[in-house]
């Protein structure tokens, strides 16, 4: 069923689900929603399964016309959103009627990405096991690209009719600041760096540069010293890996990370950390905290527990 | 090669097994043997493995296993890794390639750096049989070696912003083919009309690690005819 017509596409709006798993060895990135928490919450608010496809909105949001009645929810970055020019709240279920115009006004005040979930989930072809858009590869989502004006967005039939108006309790709504602190496990190539270089990385504040996207965040800040400048043999990369370039500046790999590379990796950010960092925007600051693998594992298990328990913690109330 | 592989965590849900630090067929064979061992024994909690030149990334689900448990299980394979050698003959793949001209803008530089003629570079590159060590960087990109020292050339100092799909490049002793338009720093010596990646099938890449590859020089008219097929 066609549900939305795109009036304005926004800066960079793509269809994303939980990602394309099992194809790294073919050079295919994982992709998927950058902020897993906001994404999961959006789906839960409309009664979707956790991996239903949503729209991922970046910095400047789209304007959409509803072609039918539907339940939607918007979570993530702190946008002003209107339906027919009336302000609507984020982080709760919204009912829209045929002909309604949903508009993201201006740019996000804090945070970088918002998620728009619709009951049933967005209907695009499943490519290599996922509906996620991978723009560089030109596949997934809508024709492998970001939305453009005039696009028609289809949705799947809901599994069960979803009649509840759900609200996210305030203690579950994150506030996005200008400074992000993320945990990272050392390595796997920390031996390439001097002790001072490693100290610099964990004690400095880095700034997110405008050359940052779904593939990676290029950071500016203190130069990380290496023992030798020899080239490494290419090995595999995953989201969260922190590569240090020849310039001594770090790049954090994100959801669309290339699958291999030859720059040394000083540390790897935790899964929960990568998800939170997805809300950092150019100009925001990042600090890295060294944690043990035991600590990182506990954080992963806790993050997973929070995500799988989100749906049960939403509060139902009458429309 | 290390006397025994080295294990290191890569974040909270992956580990890297390193067999060495160079581009070497024997090291790479061990990487693929361990990959096959994990596939065939279906180790609980492993979601996918990514073989590279000298290392294997093991991506796992921390709800089902742990780093310590996986290292313990993988170490068990060390003495008997040879049992997991490829049991099938390597596939032979021929890659028709137009060398030089607008399709190979760096061919002349490669020749000049080694005091060779264009024809000599083409002959050396196309007479060598290459092995696919790994697929990576971007979807379907085959990392192949070894390029003979007589034409091995370092990457460009400043990468190009756009390299056309099908471009054949050299970086040191490696040769590779760009499956789609992409930025890149490899020295481009030719272009093939062969399609390397198709996301709409379950085996999306033309190449697989272990494949034996030869480049066959063709002329532009043949390139255009093949492109239409």
Phi, psi of A43 (to 5 degrees): -65, -40
The predicted pLDDT at position B1 comes to 67
The predicted pLDDT at position B182 comes to 87
Nearest to A236 among B52, B67, B172 (CB): B52
Distance set, CA A168 to CA A38, A81, B229 (Å): 11, 17, 55
Nearest to B50 among A233, A259, A300 (CB): A259
Q: Do A234 and B137 touch (CB under 8 A)?
A: yes
Greatest pairwise CA separation for chain B in angstroms: 59
Beta strands (DSSP E) in B14-138 are 14-18, 46-51, 55-60, 92-99, 130-135
The predicted pLDDT at position B159 comes to 81
Strand partners, A101: A65
Q: What's the rounded mean pLDDT across residues A17-30? A: 96
- Residue A142 CA to residue A32 CA, distance in Å, equals 14
Query: For tokens 């339940």, what's the residue?
Result: A71
- Ranges of chain B with pLDDT below 70: 1
Q: Do A258 and B136 touch (CB under 8 A)?
A: yes
Burial class (CB in 10 A: 0-12, 13-18, 19+), A311: middle
Residue A229: pLDDT band (50, 70, 90) is: confident
Using an 8 Å CB-CB cutoff, list chain A residues near B134.
Answer: 234, 260
Nearest to B139 among A27, A187, A268 (CB): A27
Domain boundaries, chain A: 2-169, 179-302
Q: What's the rounded mean pLDDT across residues A206-220? A: 96
- Residue B30 CA to residue A160 CA, distance in Å, equals 50
Shortest CA gap A296–chain B (Å): 6
Kindly report, residue by residue over B96-137, the tens digit of the pLDDT.
999 999 999 999 999 999 999 999 999 999 999 999 999 998
The top-scoring range by mean pLDDT among A9-13, A174-178, A258-262 is: A9-13
Cis peptide upstream of residue A97 (ω within 30 degrees of 0): no
- Residue A251 CA to residue A29 CA, distance in Å, equals 16
Contact A34, A254 (CB under 8 A): yes
B6-84 and B92-228: identical CATH topology? no
User: Model ipTM?
Assistant: 0.94
- In this model, does residue A177 exceed pLDDT 70? yes
Using an 8 Å CB-CB cutoff, list chain B residues near A234.
Answer: 52-53, 134, 136-137, 143
Just give the CATH number of A179-302: 2.40.100.10
Domain boundaries, chain B: 6-84, 92-228
Question: Three-state DSSP class for A271?
Answer: helix
- Overall fold of domain B6-84: Gyrase A; domain 2 (3.30.1360)
Contact B98, B180 (CB under 8 A): no
Contact A75, A90 (CB under 8 A): yes
Shortest CA gap A236–chain B (Å): 6
Four-way CATH pick for B92-228: 3.30.43.10, 3.20.20.70, 2.130.10.10, 2.40.100.10: 2.40.100.10
- Residue B24 CA to residue B55 CA, distance in Å, equals 11
Using an 8 Å CB-CB cutoff, list chain A residues near B143.
Answer: 234, 260
- Residue A122 CA to residue A53 CA, distance in Å, equals 5
The proportion of chain A whose per-residue pLDDT surpasses 90, expressed as a percent, equals 91
Contact B180, B165 (CB under 8 A): yes
């Amino acid at each position: 069923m066609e549900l939305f017509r795109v009036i304005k596409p926004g800066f960079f709006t793509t269809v994303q689900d939980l990602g394309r798993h099992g194809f790294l060895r073919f050079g295919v990135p994982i992709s998927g929603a950058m902020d897993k928490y906001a994404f999961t919450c959006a789906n839960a608010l409309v009664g979707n399964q956790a991996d239903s496809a949503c729209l991922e909105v970046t910095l400047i949001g789209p304007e959409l016309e509803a072609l039918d009645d539907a339940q939607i929810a918007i979570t993530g970055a702190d946008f002003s959103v209107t339906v027919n020019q009336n302000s609507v709240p984020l982080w709760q279920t919204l009912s829209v009627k045929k002909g309604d115009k949903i508009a993201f006004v201006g740019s996000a005040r804090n945070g970088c990405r918002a998620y728009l979930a619709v009951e049933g989930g967005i209907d695009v072809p499943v490519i290599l096991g996922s509906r996620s858009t991978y723009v560089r590869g030109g596949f997934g989502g809508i024709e492998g690209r970001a939305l453009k004006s005039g696009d028609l967005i289809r949705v799947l039939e809901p599994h069960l009719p979803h009649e509840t108006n759900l609200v996210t309790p305030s203690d579950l709504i994150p506030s996005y600041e200008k400074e992000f602190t993320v945990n990272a496990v050392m390595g796997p190539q920390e031996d390439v760096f001097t002790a001072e270089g490693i100290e610099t990385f964990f004690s400095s504040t880095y700034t997110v540069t405008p050359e940052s996207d779904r593939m990676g965040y290029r950071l500016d800040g203190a130069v990380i010293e290496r023992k030798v400048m020899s080239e490494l043999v290419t090995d595999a990369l995953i989201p969260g890996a922190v590569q240090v370039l020849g310039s001594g500046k770090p790049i954090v790999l994100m959801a669309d990370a290339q699958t291999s590379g030859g720059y040394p990796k000083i540390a790897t950010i935790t899964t929960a950390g990568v998800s939170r960092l997805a809300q950092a925007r150019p100009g925001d600051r990042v600090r890295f905290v060294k944690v043990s693998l035991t600590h990182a594992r506990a954080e992963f298990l806790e993050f997973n527990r929070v995500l799988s328990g989100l749906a049960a913690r939403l509060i139902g109330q009458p429309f | 090669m290390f006397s025994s592989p080295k294990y290191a965590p890569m974040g909270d849900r992956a580990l890297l097994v390193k067999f060495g630090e160079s581009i070497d067929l024997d090291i790479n064979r061990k990487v693929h043997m361990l990959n096959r061992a994990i596939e065939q024994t279906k180790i609980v909690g492993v979601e996918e493995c990514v073989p590279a030149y000298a290392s294997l990334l093991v991506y796992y689900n921390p709800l089902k296993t742990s780093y310590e448990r996986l290292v313990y299980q993988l170490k068990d394979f060390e003495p008997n890794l040879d049992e997991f050698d490829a049991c099938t003959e390597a596939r032979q793949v021929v890659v028709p390639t137009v060398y030089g001209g607008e399709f190979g803008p760096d061919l002349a530089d490669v020749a000049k750096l080694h005091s060779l003629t264009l024809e000599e570079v083409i002959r050396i590159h196309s007479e060598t049989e290459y092995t696919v060590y790994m697929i990576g960087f971007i979807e379907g990109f085959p990392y192949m070696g070894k390029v003979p020292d007589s034409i091995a050339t370092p990457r460009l100092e400043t990468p190009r912003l756009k390299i056309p799909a099908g471009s054949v490049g050299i970086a040191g002793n490696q040769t590779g083919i760009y499956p789609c338009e992409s930025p890149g720093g490899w020295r481009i010596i030719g272009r093939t009309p062969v399609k390397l990646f198709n996301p709409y099938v379950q085996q999306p890449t033309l190449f697989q690690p272990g494949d034996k590859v030869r480049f066959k020089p063709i002329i532009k008219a043949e390139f255009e005819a093949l492109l239409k097929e």
